[in-house]
Structure 1
């Protein structure tokens, strides 16, 4: 089995067009989709922790409208 030298490895994760995937680019780009997903995961986790702490926005709204 042949192994690659560490100098042959890419320095950053590249997209097919040669742009770094982790850079923040404004507009409809693959990078924007990655950032959107990351921020959505952070928001979902924040809401989950907030709900587990006893502060549920959804439960309070349902209680106010009579469900």
Structure 2
């Protein structure tokens, strides 16, 4: 038995740009990952990040 086709179009939200909850959550998670990776690099090499990058 086939399913009936919908008779109305779904009400989809318009895409959001700029500051919104999803973008803020994504940026926060990326910042946390970057911070943890920086700590891991400093711990494993015994040098600070600037030294590791050759800036100091």
Q: TM-score, normalised by structure 2?
A: 0.53
Highest RCO, 1 vs 2 (Cα 8 Å, sep ≥ 6): 2
Task: In structure 1, list runs of 5 or more residues that go unmatched.
Answer: 1-24, 63-67
| Aligned pair partner of 1:53 in 32, 44, 47 | 44
Give 4+ residue runs of structure 1 displaced > 6 Å after superposition.
none
Task: Map 1:8-19 to 2 at 5 A.
Answer: none
Deviations 1:10-55 (A, max 9, x none): xxxxxxxxxxxxxxx7632121001100111001101110111115
RMSD: 2.2
Count of matched residue positions in the alignment of Structure 1 and Structure 2: 38
Q: TM-score, normalised by structure 1?
A: 0.45
Task: In structure 2, list runs of 5 or more residues that go unmatched.
Answer: 1-14
Give SS of 2:17's match: coil
